[in-house]
Amino acid sequence: MSVSPKRSLIENILAASMTFLLLALIVVSPANADAPRCENNFPDLVSDNRQRREMAERMALNAPIQGSAADIMKVAMLRVDEALRAGGFGSRMLLQVHDELVIEVAPGDLVTVLDAAVAEVARP
């Protein structure tokens, strides 16, 4: 009987005592006391309570996905803001909601700002 990919990933997370994001690190177990600490800790990965353990497993599996998506969005925000400032546009980024940037576009800037924003977000 083979081990499921999910189970294999959980075992790797437990062995390393951490999981990685695109631009950060999450310590998932108190076992590695020397590792950098952050508020996203999952001590219930080793809980005897099945419900608590399974919830911690789901959270540990989801953390790299959600955290990396947030990291990507932060980079996109910085790039778009830089492009708007460098381009001398009268437009400005107002806020970010989930996976969207809300930009206040000055009259006559729509096409240019849209092109600049898309180019920055799509840049590797």
pLDDT at 96 over 60: yes
Distance of alpha carbon 55 from the chain centroid = 20
Among 62-76, 85-99, 106-120, the least confident range: 62-76
Q: Among the ranges 12-21, 42-51, 109-118, which has the highest mean pLDDT value?
A: 109-118
Instruction: Give the per-residue pLDDT at 25.
Output: 52
Average of per-residue pLDDT values in the chain: 80
Which residue segment(s) compose the domain that 28 sits in? Answer: 5-122
How many domains in the chain? 1
CA distances from 101 to 1, 51, 55, 68, 80 (A): 47, 37, 31, 17, 9
> Which structure tokens are listed for 86?
């460098």
Decide: 91 and 113 in contact? Cβ < 8 Å: yes
Q: 22 vs 96, which has greater pLDDT?
A: 96
